[in-house]
Amino acid sequence: MTNDIRPDIRTLSREEIRQGLAQHDDKKFRVRQIYEWLWMNACISFDEMTNIPSPTREFLKTNFTFYTAIAEAEQKSKDGTIKVGFRLYDRSLIEGVLIPSEDRYTACISSQVGCILGCKFCATGNGGFTRNLTVGEIFDQVVYLSKLAGYIRKPSDVNLNQLSVIRHSLSNIVFMGMGEPFLNYNQVKKSIEKITSGESLGMSPQRITVSSIGIPKMIRTMADDNPKYLFAISLHAANDEKRNQIIPFNLNHPLSEIISALKYYHLKTKKRITIEYILFAGFNDSLADAHELALFCRNFPVKINLIEYNPVKETDFIGSDPSVTRAFVNFLEKRNLVVNVRKSRGKDIDAACGQLTTNLLKSN
């Protein structure tokens, strides 16, 4: 862990950068140039700011720093899924995933180093929690995966790190990687502001989804912010007895609290809620479970994403049989619910969230 007390320049506003720079370079346009390098050109070092005078760059190096996420390892699946391990300034590791689907490219990104919630089916939870990511570290994942998507679409011999930012090469972004986004809400919100800004990547917020296990207080906070991005709740069980077994957080914040918060969210935003539901064989995939899920979904407009489980060797869970999944889907559709089945991707690599990081840490 570094003891560097210099502020991370990407955590600062334009005005804060201007104030920090004022004693050295009082050119009015200088802050605009620096800001463009940070967020439109997505640079990760002051040396890349080639139209900034050398004395000013040296001043920046002396007084500010970058907390970056640098791609260190990649795994590519037979189905085209690419998992990337990113090394952070303090030597921590996180993961991002690029998921291709016909003409769509979805980036699954992390919001924390590890996770404190300890969900029983998740490899990330087994590794504990280190810290929150900064806005820049979240942004770096999106930039790299966007470049990767653009490179796949139009291959070249150029090193990815030498490519300029490719706007709109990603179809969607989901905050479903390592960590609980609501436990790092301010940095997640700021990163989305940068990703969607016309002065940066310019991505539509309607193509961004924040996924949470459901923290009632933060659902209400988000609703009050009236976000333009989409929201998904990782439910995985529609009764407290089963949800308590797989999501310890539910012991203190049961489904009644979550339902109340989700009703508030819909009242404030008028938006449909996405329900994410992983099917675990013999645990939550019976028709009785489907009935409970249907009752849960009566509370507000929803669409349901049924997710095929990507097994984690540290757990005893396995995915449901396809015939069981079909019966589950049919039950819900007969009740006029919108259901999508999300197939597991990257089964031949460390696909489950947290697995690549765990293996990289073991090898170092």
Give me the catalytic one of 115, 122, 297, 353: 353
Parts of the chain belonging to CATH 1.10.150.530: 9-63
Strand boundaries in the chain, DSSP class E: 69-76, 82-88, 93-101, 104-108, 112-114, 129-132, 172-175, 208-212, 230-234, 273-279, 302-308, 339-342
Strand boundaries in 9-68, DSSP class E: none
Report residue 223 as tokens.
């609703």
Q: Give the closest residue to 137 by CA, choosing from 97, 197, 74, 93.
A: 93
Q: Give the closest residue to 96 by CA, choosing from 130, 145, 160.
A: 145
73-99 CB burial, b ≥16 within 10 A, e <16: bebebebebbbbbbbbbeebbbbbbbb
Parts of the chain belonging to CATH 3.20.20.70: 69-363
Is 353 in the active site?
Answer: yes
CA distance 67 to 7: 9
CB 129 within 8 A of CB 112: yes
Is the pTM for the entire model greater than 0.95? no
Q: Which CATH architecture has domain 9-63?
A: Orthogonal Bundle (1.10)
The per-residue pLDDT string of the chain (364 residues; one tens digit each, 9 = 90 and over) reads 466 789 999 999 999 999 999 989 888 899 999 999 999 999 999 999 999 999 999 999 999 999 999 999 999 988 889 999 999 999 999 999 999 887 789 999 999 999 999 999 988 877 789 999 999 999 999 999 999 988 766 655 556 655 555 555 899 999 999 999 999 999 999 999 999 999 999 999 999 999 999 999 999 999 999 999 999 999 999 999 999 999 999 999 999 999 999 999 999 999 999 999 999 999 999 999 999 999 999 999 999 999 999 888 778 899 999 999 999 999 999 999 999 999 877 666 665 554 555 555 455 5
CATH 3.20.20.70 fits 69-363, yes or no: yes
Give me the catalytic one of 95, 137, 180, 276: 95
